């Protein structure tokens, strides 16, 4: 299966016009809707009319995603609007007037591009002051993506490098399991990996756990928090787990579900793998499409520190302990040897001038008793102490410096996800803390620092946080009664039902009321994707 490359908005390959663009406030954006946080916790925005960006690539498809926050003005027009072109020709905007703020929205896309020549994507923004945001770009390369070192590749759940054991079922565009012991395996070559999925609101919400291991190592437990009680919306683009700082080699990931049909499921929508074109030994990827060298770009763990430690375990502590124990044992043996020689010499000196008598009784003075009692017991005691010391030194365990350093290469959003588990009642909280809708959320001091110096948050970006929540509801293939939920009118829409990987096929043209004073947008239960 063809894999797409994911390009973050902060990547140097995207060229922004010198004026008008700024780094948006990720916290304000992450509070929006139910399509998840912005990718890698970064997003570019502009409120300047005529702002442009360009991106050169060699590929057959391209898609731009970002945050949609369009306003309908008094004259009936919408702000902002944008035009996307590839090689000067306009490409479709799936739904540029969607009424609710959402991240990870498909802003424009094109397919069936010529593979014989490179292409240039350009975006021109027209705005009267409302912010336009771009988050990332997906494209399908014309070359084997596994040969591109450092590229983040998207591996869908249908990829040949992903294998499912028993107990899995299809749920929209992803697979889920609700059976204890069910496993999913990913074979890949790369230095980092993330698993992304979405949590259906139709399924149980009780929290549970799962375990993962890399290359047969010790398993690490992650927490599957489930949707918040009372939530009526599916949560998309949830980061289930993430592993960083891997060696640039072939790896095997195995994830095992610990829950049941009464707990929140384990979803598998896509893996994102930071690709390595060469191994640590220097060999190169052949580009033959071997499942052991896949691609595509975590974390929702109640034991974030253990995840980091498990992902980068090192035997240094055990080696150091064993070395110290050996030195101590050798030193004790040397002391024992010299002590024994000294005692033998003392015995010989005390016996000088003494004539042996065949039936003489042995001396019973204090010195003689001390000499006889020393023969074998004390060295044995010392030897036992040496053995005990070696054991305690050689088998001690402590957190190695490598396991701590394993977190330093993480994106800020990933570090924050480990520390800020989903306790927010208005959101789901697998790997990210989703701030509550309708109010300005508070953030702790360990919020991730923006990767750019002195980020500027436009007023329109800050104003997005208090907007009313998007009440979109994902209509999965069937409801609990087994029948498909229909929708009134002609409602259709792009369903980003997995990690930023769907290309919109139709526009949303209808809405319906749910009888509770809210507007519910119908999303079709199925759609096609390449």
Q: Which CATH superfamily is domain 152-312 in?
A: Galactose-binding domain-like (2.60.120.260)
Contact between 63 and 500 under an 8 Å Cβ cutoff? The reply is: no
- The tokens 């923004």 sit on which residue? 125
Cα separation, 468 vs 58, whole angstroms: 40
Buried b / exposed e over 11-38, threshold 16 CB at 10 Å, is eeebebeeebbbbbbbbbbbbbbbbbbb
What is the per-residue pLDDT for 301? 32
What is the per-residue pLDDT for 149? 92
Token pair of 68 as six digits: 């949609």
What is the per-residue pLDDT for 321? 53
124 forms bridges with which residues in the sheet? 52, 83
221 burial level (CB within 10 Å; 0-12, 13-18, 19+): middle
Token pair of 20 as six digits: 């008008």
Cα separation, 460 vs 462, whole angstroms: 5
Cα Rg of the chain, angstroms: 32
Q: What is the pTM of this model?
A: 0.57
Per-residue pLDDT of the chain (530 residues; tens, 9 = 90+): 689 999 999 999 999 997 899 999 999 999 999 999 999 999 999 999 999 999 999 999 999 999 999 999 999 999 999 999 999 999 999 999 999 999 999 999 999 999 999 999 999 999 999 999 999 999 999 999 988 999 999 999 999 999 999 999 999 999 999 999 999 999 999 999 999 999 999 999 999 999 999 999 999 999 999 998 888 999 999 999 999 999 999 999 999 999 999 999 999 999 999 999 776 665 443 333 333 322 223 333 333 333 233 333 334 444 455 566 667 677 777 776 666 666 555 544 444 443 333 333 334 444 444 333 333 333 333 333 333 333 333 333 333 334 333 334 444 333 333 333 333 333 333 333 333 333 333 333 333 333 332 333 333 333 333 333 333 333 333 333 444 443 333 333 333 333 333 333 333 333 333 344 333 333 333 333 34
> Is there a cis peptide before residue 44, judged by omega within 30 degrees of 0?
no
How many Cβ atoms from other residues are within 10 Å of residue 499's Cβ? 32
Helix (H) or strand (E) holding 401: helix 401-405
Token pair of 502 as six digits: 């769907």
What is the per-residue pLDDT for 70? 98
* 340-349: Cβ within 8 A, 24+ apart: 340/379, 343/371, 343/374, 346/371, 347/371
How many Cβ atoms from other residues are within 10 Å of residue 94's Cβ? 20
Cα separation, 478 vs 172, whole angstroms: 10
How many Cβ atoms from other residues are within 10 Å of residue 301's Cβ? 27
Buried b / exposed e over 62-85, threshold 16 CB at 10 Å, is bbbbbbbbbbeeeeeeebbbbebb
For the chain, what are the domain ranges?
A: 152-312, 317-347+364-394
Helix, strand, or coil (residue 391): helix
How many Cβ atoms from other residues are within 10 Å of residue 1's Cβ? 12
What is the per-residue pLDDT for 332? 75
Cα separation, 207 vs 220, whole angstroms: 17
Contact between 458 and 125 under an 8 Å Cβ cutoff? The reply is: no
């Amino acid at each position: 299966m063809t894999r797409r490359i994911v390009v973050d908005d902060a990547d140097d390959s995207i060229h922004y016009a010198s004026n008008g663009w700024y780094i948006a406030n990720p916290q304000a954006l992450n509070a929006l809707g139910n399509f998840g946080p912005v990718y890698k916790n970064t997003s570019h925005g502009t409120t300047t009319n005529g702002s442009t960006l360009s991106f050169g690539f060699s590929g057959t498809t391209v898609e731009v995603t970002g945050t949609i926050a369009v306003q309908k003005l008094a004259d009936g027009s919408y702000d902002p609007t944008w035009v996307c072109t590839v090689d000067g020709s306009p490409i479709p905007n799936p739904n540029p007037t969607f009424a609710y703020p959402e991240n990870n929205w498909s802003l424009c896309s094109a397919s069936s591009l010529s593979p014989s020549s490179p292409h240039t994507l350009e975006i021109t923004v027209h705005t009267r002051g409302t912010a336009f945001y771009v988050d990332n770009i997906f494209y399908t390369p014309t070359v084997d993506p596994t040969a591109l070192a450092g590229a983040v590749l998207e591996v869908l759940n249908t990829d040949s490098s992903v294998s499912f054991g028993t107990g899995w079922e299809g749920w929209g565009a992803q697979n889920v399991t609700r059976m204890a012991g069910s496993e999913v395996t990913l074979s890949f070559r790369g230095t980092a990996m993330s698993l992304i999925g979405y949590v259906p609101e139709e399924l149980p919400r009780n929290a549970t756990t799962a375990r993962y291991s890399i290359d047969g190592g010790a398993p690490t437990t992650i927490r599957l928090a489930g949707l918040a009680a009372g939530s009526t919306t599916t949560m998309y683009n949830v980061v289930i787990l993430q592993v960083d700082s891997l060696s640039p080699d072939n790896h095997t990931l195995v994830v095992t579900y610990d829950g049941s049909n009464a707990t929140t499921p384990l979803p598998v929508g896509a893996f994102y793998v930071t690709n390595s074109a060469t191994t640590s030994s220097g060999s190169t990827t052949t580009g033959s499409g071997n499942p052991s060298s896949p691609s595509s770009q975590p974390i929702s763990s109640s034991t974030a520190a253990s995840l980091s430690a498990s992902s980068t375990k090192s035997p240094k502590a055990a080696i150091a302990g064993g070395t110290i124990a050996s030195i101590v044992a050798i030193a004790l043996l040397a002391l024992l040897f010299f002590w024994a020689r000294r005692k033998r010499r003392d015995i010989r000196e005390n016996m000088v001038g003494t004539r042996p008598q065949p039936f003489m009784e042995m001396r019973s003075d204090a010195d003689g008793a001390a000499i006889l009692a020393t023969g074998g017991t004390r060295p044995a005691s010392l030897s036992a102490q040496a053995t005990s010391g070696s054991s305690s030194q050689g088998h001690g365990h402590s957190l190695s410096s490598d396991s701590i350093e394993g977190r330093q290469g993480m994106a800020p959003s990933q570090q924050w996800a480990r520390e800020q588990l989903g306790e927010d009642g208005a959101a789901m909280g697998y790997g990210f803390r989703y701030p509550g809708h309708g109010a300005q959320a508070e953030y702790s001091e360990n919020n991730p620092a923006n990767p750019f110096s002195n980020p500027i948050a436009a007023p329109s970006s800050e104003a997005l946080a208090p907007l009313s929540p998007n009440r979109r509801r994902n209509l999965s293939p069937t409801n609990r009664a087994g029948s498909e939920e229909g929708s009134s009118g002609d409602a259709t829409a792009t369903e980003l039902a997995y990690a930023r990987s769907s290309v919109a096929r139709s526009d949303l043209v209808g809405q319906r009321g749910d009888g509770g004073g809210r507007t519910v947008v119908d999303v079709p239960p199925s759609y096609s994707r390449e």
